[in-house]
Chain A
Amino acid sequence: MAAYTFNINDEKQQVEVTEGTSLLWVLREHLGLTGTKYGCGIAQCGACTIHVDDRPMRACTLTVDGLTENQKITTIEGLSEAGDHPVQKAWIEAQAPQCGYCQSGQIMQAVALLNENPEPSRKDIQSYMNGNLCRCGTYLRIVEAIQLASKNRLAKK
């Protein structure tokens, strides 16, 4: 066991876990940030997508030893105060989720996409979101939600 300190959602978090523990279990089982989901454990499904220094990463394949407290970790819980991030609002507008299980990861990936590319083409969206699986088949509405978020953001400017 070892003590680790992380900066998660702008808060300092300390945990004591075995070396090599996956960040996903730390978030979910030790810190109660259960919005980040376990889907495959091998970075194939994207359900555990979080941001590390604003870049999308799969928490399941990050270990506690590979992160420092200087890195900024953001989970779905830290994306907005009241679930009202523009991407979240677009998600509601498009009525995108079905079972909802993969949606935190989808949203985190989409936020990263729009940060990098505020006006993605449909093809850009398909390519950037390709690592995030949805078994319910909400892909078309995810595309719609991302396009809405992009449009809404531009309209505000």
Chain B
Amino acid sequence: MNPSTRSASRRQFLKTSSGMALFVGVSGLLPIALSCADRKKIGEQLSKQPLTAWVQLSEDGQLTIYNPAAEMGQGSMTSLPVIFAEEMDADWSMVQVIFSPQESDIYGSEGWGASRKVMLSAGSRVTTGYYSLMRKAGAQARHIILHSAAKLWKVPIGELTTKIGKVVHPEQGLSASYGEIVPFLEVPEILPDFNEKGLKDPADFRLIGKSVARTEIPEKVNGSAQFAIDIRLPNMVYAVLERGAIHGARPALKNKASILAMDGVLKILPMDHAIGIVATTLERALEVKKRLEIDWEHGQTGGFNSKDVFAVYEKHAEKKTKGKVLTEIGNVKKAFRSAAKTYRADFKNDYVYHAQMEPLNAVVQVATDRQSAEVWVGSQQGFDEKLGVPKVLGIPPEAVKINLQYLGGGFGRRSMTDFVTECALLAQEIPGRPVKLLWTREDDLTYGAFRPQTLQRLSASTDAKGNITGLSHSIIGDGGNLVASGIKNNYYDIPNQYAEWKEVSHGIRLKHWRSVGHAPNKYAIECLLDGIALDQGIDPLALRRTLMRNAPRALATLEKAAIMSKWNGPAVEGRAKGLAFLERSGTLSTAVCEISVNRETGKIKVHHFWNALDAGVIVQPDNVRAQMEGGILMGMSSVLKERITIAEGQVQQSNFHDYPLLRMEDIPESIETEMIPSTEHPQGVGESGTPLVACAIANAFLRLTGKALRHLPFTPDRVLEVLNSADREKKYASISHSN
């Protein structure tokens, strides 16, 4: 019997009230979304029956689970399927994982605040966003197996149970693997809507919280893992763009005729912000890019100098006019009026670049009739339907197929779609042929979208006993939500708090960068706390203990980190430890780092990092460790080395020779992570490590030298400047005394 006839003969239909039908085929529970024209109805249907969209089961027992999230190294290719397989009671050794179709109505997550479901891998929200959904879908898949076996064996479903990939009837001694049930699969009229009670007791978990090797690692060590940049298709051509040195500048190509005459040049596409070139080979496209003669008409950032603008920010900080209020608790003004002592400090941070190792790229093929398109891309997905491709091509979303590939790093940059829509526009010029667009590293850096530069002015008040009574935080810079995240101090008992954002816009392209505003904001807050502690003669740990008196989960991470790092133990000669606490994406974490400083060169050496976190249920402990290690190393890179500067509107760096990243010579001896056991809903971990670094290093530096690092990054030149300055922190942390 050939597979297709078998499939047809055993296909079963599930009638539903809306008259839609889902089918269960011989190869399992198939998503039919792509074969049905009415996407709205499918969306409605599948929100009721999501299970059918999540898994395929074949007769040999192989189980294919769909991962709806991007895989950029954060482990979604394992974590989400683990959750599903746990509830399905599947045999993990039979599981393979593939990306789900990029159909957000079916595979999207609610809770992004949009009117519809959204597929988006950002904000460390993949596990937290899909945890309940994957558990329920897994439980429903298990229920279908049980239901089908009950029918087959003509026994009540209540007498059956499952045991790692098998359905069993203990009393009658019946047993069948899930694969053996496949020919008899039948979806019940009504699928139970499993609530927490119907799901596994976490005490019985055998995959969640255990050591499960990441599914995609073998292909990442043999070179076969496919990133979008690796796509090769028949008849494929290559595109590059020459963009202006000043963002937003409009090009006028002066040597169009001679470029078109060059061998292998297929197309020139003038765009608003660039000249696009399509050529037969990549090397030809890159060669042509160098030969373009372009006049650039003013851009949005002309005349901007990033180093000088801090003076402007300071003027804004002095102004009495209020900014956009970000948080307001109690009455800060009153707290300051009745303070025994007040403190003020400014903190600055420069622009930083994502530097994901795979430069941006995409492959798009527009059909010869221009009515449909196919896209191969590494993307963090996003709010734009089908990554904005339908819109730029003027075709309906269902005419666009997105083939998600592994991401060679995301960090927020790949939640933009600029590189995808650029490629679509180029592909439209050569319908029928796949077009691979490559951003060179120089393109990727100079036309980056950076974490915004800011000035932060913080002030605090204390009462006669040294308790912090008020905290005021003013952020000056560009970026809205990008600078506002991490402003709240929900785990510190500070009765009066105020935070505002004063906008100063420069037209610089900005974007979420791992942990967004948390890194600069928590740096400022945590360093102010240690400045106060130093001035008051209080141990930074003791200060935070007091502040966390009403936040037991936060306090537990603090105590744990103190033990791990032997906070109260003797200091190694020439070294000091620094402390930081923060909440990011729902995860609470405390870190301690140990540093030393070369007083000749100004180079900071990080020796150890210890961190304790409470992230709710830990789905993959080893992966949480990996994320903390990676997040901390990326944090160290940005804090110690990275700085984008802009002069006369032009980015001054271009590649890794002048935008250095942390290299192996600078890694700490260890990064240790401990997770507080919890049965709470899982929270995001991917961005917890990064923002801890600036605070922990600066606080260690303060304890080591008595001096404060107030401007990110802490490059050797800046460190030397601080070391050689006369002021000790004690003098300028407490700037005024009232009463």
The answer to whether A and B assemble together is yes
Q: A residues near B, CB below 8 A?
A: 17-18, 21-22, 25, 28-29, 32-42, 44-45, 47, 75-77, 79-80, 82-83, 88, 91-92, 95-104, 107, 125-127, 129-143
Known: A34-B232, A139-B664. A40 touches B626 (CB 8 A): no
Residue pair A103, B221 in contact (C-beta under 8 Å): yes
Does B275 interact with chain A (Cβ within 8 Å)? no
Contacts A/B (CB < 8 Å), 21 sampled: A17-B283, A29-B282, A37-B357, A39-B357, A40-B655, A40-B656, A79-B222, A79-B223, A92-B221, A95-B623, A98-B72, A98-B74, A98-B630, A99-B408, A100-B408, A101-B409, A135-B411, A136-B73, A136-B630, A136-B634, A140-B670
A124 to B631 Cα, complex, angstroms: 25
Residue pair B409, A135 in contact (C-beta under 8 Å): yes
Cβ contact of B667, chosen from A28, A38, A126, cutoff 8 A: A126
Which chain B residues border A21 with CB–CB below 8 Å?
Answer: 283
Interchain nearest-CB distance for B737 vs A (Å):
44
Does B441 interact with chain A (Cβ within 8 Å)? yes
Interface string of B355-377 (1 = CB under 8 A from A): 11111000000000000000000
Residue pair A130, B655 in contact (C-beta under 8 Å): no
Does B383 interact with chain A (Cβ within 8 Å)? no
Q: B residues near A, CB below 8 A?
A: 72-75, 213-214, 216-227, 229-230, 232, 238, 281-284, 287, 355-359, 406-411, 438, 440-441, 622-623, 626, 629-634, 637, 655-657, 661-665, 667-668, 670-671
Shortest beta-carbon contacts, A-B, top 10: A35-B223, A137-B633, A98-B73, A83-B222, A101-B408, A100-B220, A99-B73, A76-B223, A137-B630, A34-B230
Which chain A residues border B634 with CB–CB below 8 Å?
Answer: 135-137
Interchain nearest-CB distance for A57 vs B (Å):
16
Interchain nearest-CB distance for A130 vs B (Å):
5
Which chain A residues border B225 with CB–CB below 8 Å?
Answer: 100
Which chain B residues border A77 with CB–CB below 8 Å?
Answer: 222-224
Cβ contact of A139, chosen from B213, B411, B667, cutoff 8 A: B667
Which chain B residues border A88 with CB–CB below 8 Å?
Answer: 221-222
Known: A99-B409, A100-B408, A135-B661. A35 touches B224 (CB 8 A): yes
Residue pair A101, B358 in contact (C-beta under 8 Å): yes
Which chain A residues border B213 with CB–CB below 8 Å?
Answer: 92, 95
Residue pair A104, B655 in contact (C-beta under 8 Å): no
Which chain B residues border A92 with CB–CB below 8 Å?
Answer: 213, 217-218, 221
Of all chain A residues, which has the CB nearest B661?
A133
Which chain A residues border B438 with CB–CB below 8 Å?
Answer: 38
Residue pair A102, B283 in contact (C-beta under 8 Å): no
Which chain B residues border A34 with CB–CB below 8 Å?
Answer: 223, 226, 229-230, 232
Known: A34-B223, A97-B217, A125-B664. A42 touches B358 (CB 8 A): no
Of all chain A residues, which has the CB nearest B620?
A95
Known: A92-B217, A137-B634, A138-B630. A102 touches B664 (CB 8 A): no
A72 to B227 Cα, complex, angstroms: 27
Known: A95-B217, A126-B665. 10 other contacts (CB 8 A): A35-B223, A40-B441, A76-B223, A91-B217, A95-B214, A95-B622, A99-B72, A101-B227, A137-B629, A137-B631
Residue pair B283, A22 in contact (C-beta under 8 Å): yes
Interchain nearest-CB distance for B436 vs A (Å):
8
Residue pair A100, B283 in contact (C-beta under 8 Å): no
Residue pair A133, B656 in contact (C-beta under 8 Å): yes
Residue pair A29, B667 in contact (C-beta under 8 Å): no
Which chain A residues border B668 with CB–CB below 8 Å?
Answer: 140
Which chain A residues border B74 with CB–CB below 8 Å?
Answer: 98
Which chain A residues border B282 with CB–CB below 8 Å?
Answer: 25, 29
Interchain nearest-CB distance for B146 vs A (Å):
34
Which chain A residues border B626 with CB–CB below 8 Å?
Answer: 95, 98, 138, 141
Which chain B residues border A76 with CB–CB below 8 Å?
Answer: 222-223
Most chain A CB within a 10 A radius of its CB, from B213, B216, B281, B623 = B281
Residue pair A130, B664 in contact (C-beta under 8 Å): yes
Residue pair A83, B221 in contact (C-beta under 8 Å): yes
Of all chain A residues, which has the CB nearest B224?
A35
Residue pair A126, B664 in contact (C-beta under 8 Å): yes
Which chain B residues border A17 with CB–CB below 8 Å?
Answer: 281, 283
Residue pair A140, B229 in contact (C-beta under 8 Å): no
A46 to B731 Cα, complex, angstroms: 47
Residue pair B663, A133 in contact (C-beta under 8 Å): yes
